[in-house]
Amino acid sequence: MKIILLVITFSSIISSLSAQETKDSATVQIVEFPDVEAEYPGGMPALMKYLIENITYPADYGDVGFCGKIYISLIINVDGSVSDVKVQRGVDPKLDKMAKQIILRMPKWKPAETDGKAVRSRIRIPINILLE
């Protein structure tokens, strides 16, 4: 029986990037440096707990001893919803897909703020994986 261990690190987890997206002919900006960063409900400990509790490895994945880091980027919208989830750098197609699906199912975040107003922002989440 193999034991699976997920290790998550969050050094500089939240990183905003500059971008713009067009929606219904209106430009909605992604704020590069918000005054207050987006926050997962309950903070980083709650985010780590969510990820650990929701990891389900593909049944046919048998690469014991594998380790790697998956970098996920996503947008936190003004209502706290998650969108535009992308694997920026992955380790394996099956594990990358699993990580993306978990992020897509996340509950709403507290959105970033600039000048006291909620704004869209981009964050990155690095996920270290070690399969034992």
Q: Given this model, what pLDDT does residue 123 score?
A: 94
Hunting for tokens 């990037």 — which residue is that? 17
Architecture of domain 4-131: 2-Layer Sandwich (3.30)
Confidence at residue 92, expressed as pLDDT on a 0 to 100 scale: 84
> If you write DSSP's letter for every residue of the chain in order, what string do you get?
---EEEE---TT------EEEEETTEEEEEPSS-SB--B-TTHHHHHHHHHHHH----TT---TT-EEEEEEEEEE-TTS-EEEEEEEE-S-HHHHHHHHHHHHTPPPPBPEEETTEEEBEEEEEEEEEEE-
Task: Provide the whole-model pTM.
Answer: 0.75
pLDDT along the chain (132 residues), means of 10: 42 38 53 93 94 77 71 96 95 88 95 96 88 66
